[in-house]
Amino acid sequence: MGCGLALAEDSTTLNEHFAASKTPVHKICILPVGATLSKVSMKGGEPMTKESEDWRPKVDRMVVDAFSSAGATVVSDYSSDAVTDAVRQAMVELQQKYSGLLAQMRKRGSEVRKGVASLGDEVALLPCAAEADALIFAGASGSLQTGARKTVQFVAGGLMGFTSFRSDLWMALVSARSGDVDALGHIELIGSEKFATDPEAAYGKALRRQLAKMHVGEAGKK
C-alpha cells in the first residue's frame, strides 16, 4: 500500500538582530546529529534500534552536505569519535542544555525572534568555537507504520490515514561567540516514508532553502 503523498512544511525563525545584521555564516561546527526512528504496529509503537543506528549517519551526511553545498566550511564535525574525554563531556552537556532550550523554543518561537534563546558562553567550551561562526545543532525523528497498520489506517481514515507517517527535522544555528540562537529551522514531513530511506531526497530542498534564509555561505556577498 505505497503512496506518493508527501506533505512538507518548513519554517525558519530568525533572531531579529541576526536577521538585520545579515552577518554571513561561512564557518560552522556541527555537533553529532540525533536521529531516531520508531515503528507503529498493530501492537503499538516501539523503537527501531538497528534502523535508527543506520539512519543517523545518513541524516548527518545530509546536514553536512547541505552546508557544504551552500558554501560553508565545516570546521569540525563532531560526529566522529576522535575527541578527548573533556571535549566529549563538554559536548554532551551542551547538547543537553540545547535539548532543554529546544523544548522551550518549540513552545515559544518568539524567544528566538527576540534573541533571548541562548546557550550562553558555554559554547566556548568546544575548541571549534575559536574558529567557527556558528555551531549547528540538528536532530531528526520519524515514525513508520507496519504493513498491517497501514491497511487499518487507510481503511479507517481514508487518505487521512497516511498522515500517520511523520518525521521532523529541527536545526538550530547558534552563534559560536555569544551562544545566542540566531536561527531555528523546522521541517515536517507527513505522509511519506521517503525520509527513512533517502533523507536527502526528503529534506534536502527544504533544508537548502532554510540555509539561504540563515545567510549561510554568504561570505563576500553584501
Partner 1 sequence: MRRRELAVILNQSVNRPGTIIWILLAGVGSIYAAGGAKASFHFGEPEEKLLAESDALDRQFEKDGLIYRDTQADALLNRVGQRLNAVSPVPDRVAYRFHILRDPMINAFALANGSIYVNTGLIAVMHNESQFAAVLAHEITHVVNRHEFELNRSIRKKSLALNIVALVGPAVPVGGAFGASLSAAATLSQVVVVATVYGYSRELEQEADDQGFARLTKAQYDGSAMPQALQLLDEKIEYEPVEPFWRTHPKLVARIASAQKLASGEHTESPATVSDNDYLAQMRGVIRYSIEEDLQNRRARTAVARAQRLVDWQPNDALNESLLADAYRGLGAKTPQPEPAESTRAGIKDDRTMMLKRTAAEEQEVLLAKPEGPAALAANRSRAEADYIKAIGEDPQLADAHRGLGSLYEDEGKREQAAAEYRQYLKLAAPNAVDRLRIERRIGALEGAPGAPAK
Binding-site ranges for partner 1 (CB under 8 A):
36, 38, 40, 42-47, 49, 52, 86-93, 96-104, 107-108, 111, 116-117, 120-122, 124-125, 127, 129-130, 141, 143, 177
Write out the three cell numbers for 125: 567550551
Tell the smallest beta-carbon distance from residue 205 to partner 1 (Å).
26
In sequence order, what are the residues at sequence separation of 6 or more whose Cβ sits closer than 8 angstroms to the Cβ of residue 120?
A: 179
Tell the smallest beta-carbon distance from residue 43 to partner 1 (Å).
6
Tell the smallest beta-carbon distance from residue 50 to partner 1 (Å).
8
Decide: helix, strand or coil at residue 219. Answer: coil
Closer CB to partner 1, 66 or 76, in the complex: 76
Tell the smallest beta-carbon distance from residue 112 to partner 1 (Å).
12
Closer CB to partner 1, 71 or 127, in the complex: 127
**Helix ranges, the chain (H):** 16-21, 49-69, 85-107, 110-114, 147-157, 194-197, 199-213
Closer CB to partner 1, 65 or 168, in the complex: 168
Closer CB to partner 1, 23 or 79, in the complex: 79
Tell the smallest beta-carbon distance from residue 113 to partner 1 (Å).
14
* Adjacent-strand bridge partners of 14: 183
Tell the smallest beta-carbon distance from residue 218 to partner 1 (Å).
25
Write out the three cell numbers for 136: 549547528
CB 100 within 8 A of CB 118: no
The maximal CA–CA distance of the chain, rounded, in angstroms, is: 56
Decide: helix, strand or coil at residue 147. Answer: helix
Closer CB to partner 1, 90 or 216, in the complex: 90
Residue with cell 533544508: 207
Closer CB to partner 1, 120 or 157, in the complex: 120
CB 132 within 8 A of CB 176: yes
